[in-house]
Amino acid sequence: MHFLEIADLSAAYRNVRVLRSVSLNVARGEVVSIIGPSGSGKSTLLRALVGLMTPTAGTVRLGGETVDYSDPKSLRALRDRCAIVFQQFNLFQNMTVLRNVMITPVKIKRRPVGEVEPEARALLTKVGLADKMDAYPSQLSGGQQQRVAIARALAVKPDILLLDEVTSALDPELVQEVLETIRLLAAEGMTMLAVSHEMNFVREVSSRVALMNGGEVIEVGEPAELFERPTSARTREFVSKIIRAK
């Protein structure tokens, strides 16, 4: 049984269908990357999974439990096990880095500060920010802020981490420090579903890669298969454009 099972998931925005019967599975410890052209539904899929956009059809199962997006209790249970990191950092500017990481476990999960703080410090050390715990977001680079956002997501101890183009808002020289953090998490066996346009990184860390186009999953395969021996015409077209752009 796969840990995350998405079956025939559809979603619409203002009566425009943006996801079309998407089916995709993620095993525990797997890193599945989603690639595709702009507007293909990649980020929308992640938003639908966490209930920021309510699916109109289909089924999502996490750890064997079916998610009922109309039931607040079921949605809370999903979000207890699934954390998302967005393109924008969305940090609280009036809080230190340490407090940003601690806020959800303390305020939402009602866990004791004395229990959460050492965990938050350990997470910030893991992402290379041991010397920035008392700094404020405005004092950090974009790459550092995104690493804080990743640490904040990890602070809720999710079973699966969703990454939505986490390097797209960064200057090129800051991208690698964020990707290095994700490499570390992958090496530790963190289950991840990641939307990314960093193709070399996708090839390096992914267990499997899914190509989306027009709100549909067109093809899924191991990185070498999908990039070197794609079976669909649309995948071949997309991959050839990537190669020409290098």
Distance separating alpha carbons of residues 25 and 65, to the nearest angstrom: 14
pLDDT of residue 169: 83
Using an 8 Å Cβ cutoff, are 9 and 22 in contact?
yes
pLDDT of residue 2: 85
Q: Residue 174, Cβ neighbours under 10 Å: how many?
A: 18
pLDDT of residue 243: 67
Output the CA–CA distances (angstroms, integers) from residue 206 to 31, 45, 143, 159, 211, in the order listed.
5, 18, 21, 17, 13
pLDDT of residue 15: 85
Low-confidence ranges of the chain (pLDDT < 50): none
Reported pTM: 0.94
Q: Which of 198, 204, 210, 213 is nearest to 246 (CA)?
A: 198
Distance separating alpha carbons of residues 136 and 93, to the nearest angstrom: 7
57-62 β-sheet, strand order: 16-26, 4-13, 57-62, 65-66
Instruction: Tell the CATH superfamily of the 4-245 domain.
Output: P-loop containing nucleotide triphosphate hydrolases (3.40.50.300)
Q: Could you tell me which residues come within 8 angstroms of residue 37 by beta carbon, excluding any fewer than 6 positions away?
A: 213, 238
Helix (H) / strand (E) element for 186: namely: helix 172-187
pLDDT of residue 244: 66
Reported in sequence order, the residue ranges of the chain that DSSP labels E, i.e. its strands, are: 4-13, 16-26, 31-35, 57-62, 65-66, 82-85, 160-164, 191-195, 208-213, 216-221
pLDDT of residue 129: 97
Q: Could you tell me which residues come within 8 angstroms of residue 70 by beta carbon, excluding any fewer than 6 positions away?
A: 54
Distance separating alpha carbons of residues 239 and 246, to the nearest angstrom: 11
Domain ranges of the chain: 4-245
pLDDT of residue 242: 80
